[in-house]
Amino acid sequence: MKKTALIFGVTGQDGAYLSKFLLKKRYKVYGVKRRSSIINTQRIDDIYKDINYKSNFKIFYGDLTDASSILNLIKNVKPNEIYNLAAQSHVKVSFEVPEYSAEVNGLGTLRILEAIRSLNLEKKIKFYQAGTSEMFGRTKGKFQNEKTPFHPVSPYGVSKCFAHWITKNYREAYGIFACNGILFNHESPIRGETFVTKKIIQALVKIKKGNQKKLFLGNLYSKRDWGHAKDYVEAMWKMLQQNKPNDYVIGTGKTFTIKDFVNRAAKKIGFKLEWIGKGINEKGVNTENKKVIVECRKRYFRPLEVDYLKGNASKAKKLLNWYPKMTIDDLIEEMVVYEEENNNDKY
């Protein structure tokens, strides 16, 4: 019998990669999308279009703020596995919509767990919660692993800590097979356009094509551990295939500043950058024509910042046999090629 997976957040970056991964593993995949005023299935249109009665991929409306939709979906689908990838996932935006971020990311997770419990499906459904390295926040030490204490510094990070602990709580209290993935930043060509990697590559490609003049950024000196989303959805699935539920850190173990990322992306696209100035006045100059193409703007800084992230995924390597396959330069290469081929928009 085919396994069935229910994915909350199917229209997002990870939802799209996970759907395709599970379809290849011959799952029936049911995705949950929220209502929006324009069609927002671009990332899954290639599998969604093929809609017929035999399709292994179906989409339903639902929303993490609506307990009844969650309960009905789980009751009707009775999936073997649930992946909760739905979230207000933008850290900076969470400072502007803190209550909504907590509602969706924190209480939304509780609503799914409570639906599983109230339908008496505790022993039938395995549950994955999309946790994040943002939970570490103000962290000390050279790297973060499962034993590193949480000290979140954004409403997003705080809301994800609630989701983490409530997932653990339902595992311990009711015996639900529930896993927390603590994933470090992961990117891809279909990354949301307001996350820094996509924003940098999209802008530099447009500048190269003459369709944009400048890239405006915030903090150039925070450090991130960036992997590829394709590798990370495999880790989610592996967590649910174990004999026992557990929590795992997933990262590459390498860390780079935003400025490093800009330099590497610029090189790939064919720019040589020289940096001048300091602080908010720091600028990236295209050495070929002496034009400033990167500037900093206050509005892209956050009230508090996570300065340093570097994941130690030894536990996942040992227990899940999970290893990241793609390096930062593989990731940049794939994102640049995609942007060069697909983006001809004028600024």
Residues that bind ligand GDD in the complex, under the rule CB under 6 A = 89, 91-92, 132-134, 184-185, 194-196, 199, 217-219, 222, 224, 258, 300, 302, 305, 309
Q: Which residue is nearest to ligand NAP (CB)?
A: 12
Name which of 87 and 306 has its Cβ closer to ligand NAP. Answer: 87
Range in contact with ligand NAP (rule: CB under 6 A) among 74-82, 183-191, 236-244, 337-345? 183-191
Q: Write out the binding residues for ligand NAP, residues 67-86 only, by CB under 6 A.
A: 85-86
The one of ligand GDD, ligand NAP, none whose footprint includes residue 300, by CB under 5 to 8 A per kind, is ligand GDD
- Return the residue of 4, 5, 6, 14 that touches ligand NAP, per CB under 6 A: 14
Indicate if 156 belongs to the active site: yes
* Least distance between ligand NAP and beta carbon 306 (Å): 12
* 87 binds ligand NAP, rule: CB under 6 A: yes
Indicate if 134 belongs to the active site: yes
The one of ligand NAP, ligand GDD, none whose footprint includes residue 12, by CB under 5 to 8 A per kind, is ligand NAP
* Least distance between ligand GDD and beta carbon 144 (Å): 10
Indicate if 96 belongs to the active site: no
Q: What is the 3-state secondary structure (H, E, C) of the chain?
A: CCCEEEEECCCCHHHHHHHHHHHHCCCEEEEEECCCCCCCCHHHHHHHCCCCCCCCEEEEECCCCCHHHHHHHHHHHCCCEEEECCCCCCHHHHHHCHHHHHHHHHHHHHHHHHHHHHCCCCCCCEEEEEEEHHHCCCCCCCCECCCCCCCCCCHHHHHHHHHHHHHHHHHHHHCCEEEEEEECCEECCCCCCCCHHHHHHHHHHHHHCCCCCCEEECCCCCEECCEEHHHHHHHHHHHHCCCCCCEEEECCCCCEEHHHHHHHHHHHHCCCEEEECCHHHCEEEECCCCEEEEEECHHHCCCCCCCECCECCHHHHHHHCCCCCCCHHHHHHHHHHHHHHHCCCCC
Which residues contribute to the site for ligand NAP (CB under 6 A)? Answer: 8-9, 11-15, 34, 36, 40, 63-65, 85-89, 104, 130, 132, 183, 185-186, 192
Catalytic site positions: 132, 134, 156
